[in-house]
Amino acid sequence: MASVLVPPRRHDPEWMDRPGNTMADLAGALDDIRLVNRFLRGSKILVAALRPLLSALPEGETLHVLDVGTGGADLPLDLVSFARRLGRGIRIVAVDRDPVTIEYARARTAGTPEIEVRRADAFALPFPPGSFDVVTASMFLHHFDHDDAVRLLSGFRRIARRSVLVNDLRRHRVPWAFIGLAARVTGRHPMFVHDATLSVLRGFTADELMAAAREAGAASATVDRRLPYRLVLTMPGGGGG
């Protein structure tokens, strides 16, 4: 039964990853992603994972976060809102490779001084070791095959002083069927309809994500399941593990 419900991992390219996408297409898809994240908890999963660090932050200090593959900057915006409610300081550098996505994210974060949006390649991040307390990546790692995922996780650990937090999809036919039907019935953007179902099939099992973390040198990494069909990988930063 498990093999029927958990299909082999797919590696077909998502439309969002194509070069030369227009603002109209990307904005439509990113708007839909933001709505789905709100409905299915999305970035709230990582916000909850970061709550202990923010809550324990001494008065007057600031938590420095790097968000890789930020897309529409949903996670940074939610993190800032949460930190403000707690009365804690936070600074977030949000990076993405696509220039049109960067333009969209900068427009959404305008007026939020805690967030800096920068264009950068996740495989060549322009930051020295230990530059940030935490490195986060939400709904990003599934865009890559196993070997590239290991390379990325290794790079994230090098940059993080304290921890790396990855929130991604658990591959399963139930969310694949649900998101495909819901996206079509509600008239979502064609790019979102195509990529959302494919993203589920490019997701991970807990064992696959743990294997990538261990190959990245994080022997003490943990992978936790979160509703609905999400996985949260936690790794120590600073080369520890």
181-212 pLDDT, tens digit each = 777 777 788 888 888 888 989 999 999 999 99
Mean per-residue pLDDT of the chain: 91
Q: Give the pLDDT confidence of 80-139 residue by residue, as tens digits.
A: 999 999 999 999 999 999 999 999 999 999 999 999 999 999 999 999 999 999 999 999
Q: Please measure the distance between the N-terminal and C-terminal CA atoms of the chain and give it in whole angstroms.
A: 35
Domain count, the chain: 1
Q: Let me know if residue 183 belongs to a domain.
A: no
The answer to whether position 83 is within a domain reads yes
Considering the domain boundaries, does residue 178 fall inside one?
Answer: no
* Spatial distance between the Cα atoms of 80 and 133, rounded to a whole number of angstroms: 15
Confidence band of 72 (pLDDT split at 50, 70, 90): very high
- Evaluate whether 75 touches 107 at the Cβ level (below 8 Å): no
Q: Is residue 22 part of a domain?
A: no
Which residue range is the domain that position 221 belongs to? 40-170+205-236
Q: What's the CATH number where 57 sits?
A: 3.40.50.150
In the chain, at which residue ranges do the beta strands (DSSP E only) sit?
62-68, 89-96, 115-119, 132-138, 160-169, 222-226, 230-236
Per-residue pLDDT at 33: 80
Residue 162 lies in a domain: yes
Q: In what order do the strands lie in the sheet containing 132-138?
A: 115-119, 89-96, 62-68, 132-138, 160-169, 230-236, 222-226
**pLDDT value at 144 more than 60:** yes
Query: pLDDT band for position 240 (50/70/90)?
Result: very low
Quick one: pLDDT at residue 241? 43
Residue 158 placed within a domain = yes
In a domain, 23, yes or no: no
135 within domain boundaries: yes
The two three-digit tokens of residue 237, written as one number: 């930063």
pTM as predicted: 0.92
